[in-house]
Amino acid sequence: MSKDKPKGGLGKGLDVLFGGSEAAEQTVSAPEFHRNITELNPKTDEQILFIELENIKANPYQPRKEFDSAELSDLAESIKQKGVIQAITVRKLDDGGYELISGERRLRASKIAGIEKIPAYVLDVTAKEDLLEIALIENIQRANLNSIEVAEGYKRLIDECALRQEDVAVKVGKSRSAVANTLRLLTLPDEIKLSIKKGEISEGHARSILAMDNDVDKMLLFKRITTENLSVRKTEELTKKKKTKAAPREKKIYEITDQNKAAIKFLEEKFMEHFGTRVRLNPSSPTTGTIIIEYYTAEDLERIIDLCKK
């Protein structure tokens, strides 16, 4: 993807999207659908049309997967009362129709509101990379995406638009470290990523989970967060205590066979599921050994003791 774009091309389109046009802040109410374009948008020569909703195809690069039905209903009611506050952006297709670039929520809410046409900026964009870049950046900057959707958007910009993390940081107005930390969320186990998407745990929880050394510890901490409704602060405290108090793995006294290793791992996982913390079995002979149940706070110990009593 070319870094230098001629004036009046994609650069102008991005100006419109990100505040270069005063028209972006104007209200376009339903009775005004047939106003003259120059009257509506006197300070830019970007083309605005009032397009029938049925002629607009979905955005194939939409990074947002989940749309809150209550929020869409509220937006639809607002559109009924005040109209579409900001025009969506589309591109013209060869068959005479249009393809959405940005404004998915406005388009969906307009359909719910029952209006027939919607104001739209028509951008002269044809390259896949440009379409993807505009759609992703606009959604990342404006939409209420969850952190996993943002991370997936960053990754697509890197993979499909041949951008570096530094380039992504500049385009979305974040620091390089912020982009890198968000991308790290994609390394979490799938169950945790799904929980973030559903809003069950926050990005703060997720960053604490990332501090754990392995997936087993990550899942154990995740289970405690969800079952005990831990705050982000409490989760951070547990993470710090785990890092400072984790006991080193004891040296085995005798050689363990592969079969025994599999059995030990199975038993450890069962213990960890029950106690919600790390448990290690250290056999010292074929019939003897120790069980180590880790705890990190006084409350943690009381919880384990209660479980032992049951």
Complete DSSP assignment for 169-207: HHHHT--HHHHHHHHHGGGS-HHHHHHHHTTSS-HHHHH
149 tagged catalytic = no
Catalytic residue among 46, 104, 133, 149: 104
Task: Give Rg (Cα) of the chain.
Answer: 27
Collapsing DSSP states into helix, strand and coil, what is residue 224? helix
Torsion angle (degrees, nearest 10) of CA 139, 201, 183, 1: -20
Count of beta carbons in the 10 Å neighbourhood of residue 225: 24
Residues 246, 247, 249: CA angle, nearest 5 degrees: 120
Residues 6 or more apart whose CB falls under 8 angstroms from that of 244 comprise: none
Residue indicated by tokens 């104007």: 26
Inter-residue contact 63 to 197 (CB < 8 Å): no
Residue indicated by tokens 């991370």: 151
Phi, psi of 295, deg, nearest 5: -140, 155
Q: Kindly list the catalytic residues.
A: 104
